[in-house]
Structure 1
């Protein structure tokens, strides 16, 4: 029978890896794949949502997603990264996805809601033992 702590750490690692890859992919797309120069399409997306300073928000969102995703994968500053990603996801949830209903296929809130809840799992329970946070804490 598997120890509960081992199972908990395995699940936290899996959540971190899936979230990290997902956020890196979304941030990468925002910078390098939308529009002619990569950011044009993302800025236009925020401009269409009528948010203040769409250029700043687009870059903030993209960089937070790429850097935060990498930090989640490694488990370095994972709780802080998950918190920052939760904030960005909440902003995107409200500004970009709420007007489109629930389903992800319609660009609705379904995916951001799942990402937000997973980020909150890391914020509440931490990165687990399979993380750089844990490894570095042994030297402190």
Structure 2
């Protein structure tokens, strides 16, 4: 993978990772799991306590893994599932625009996750580093 693609992958992963880390941190510490659970319950999300923990941990931990470039396809799928839930439970009835509480942001995050989840991390991510080391041994 070329240097510009390595850099593009890194920039996309870092931006997405920071966004998810902040949202996960908010659920874990700023608002807290109890408040997140109560909010999820108000949205009629099934199993709101489990959903709150899933969302908080996958966003916080997934954000870190995105930045590091670890397990990209899996992390991207877990975060996409989280964003699909956000769209259908919290945003779909508010329309498209983010300013109105709509699904614009989670949809854009899904697009970014698809891109980084399918792309190789190259030398800027752990997945690419370990893959290239395995190839060099053979």
TM-superposed deviation, 1:84: 1.1
Contact kept, 8 Å, 1:49 with 1:96, in 2: the verdict is: yes
Retained in 1: the 8 A contact 2:73–2:117? yes
Q: How many residues align?
A: 134
Counterparts of 1:16 and 1:7 in 2: how far apart (Å)? 14
- Paired residue for 2:6? 9
- Counterparts of 2:100 and 2:115, CA distance in 1: 26
Matched, 1:33 2:33: no
Question: Cα deviations across residues 37-65 of structure 1 (Å, max 9, x unaligned)?
Answer: x1222112211111211111011011001
> CA offsets, 1:86-130, max 9 Å, x none?
111111111111122222222210110110100000122232331
Root mean square deviation, CA, Å: 1.5
1:67 Cα shift?
Answer: 0.8
Task: Point out where structure 1 has 5 or more consecutive residues left out of the alignment.
Answer: none
- Deviant stretches of 4+, over 3 Å: none
Q: What stretches of structure 2 of length at least 5 have no aligned partner? A: none
Q: SS of 1:76's equivalent?
A: coil
TM-score normalised over the length of structure 2: 0.89
Task: Give the structure with the larger helix fraction.
Answer: 2
- The match for 1:127 is 121
Counterparts of 1:128 and 1:85 in 2: how far apart (Å)? 21
Give the TM-score, by structure 1 length: 0.88
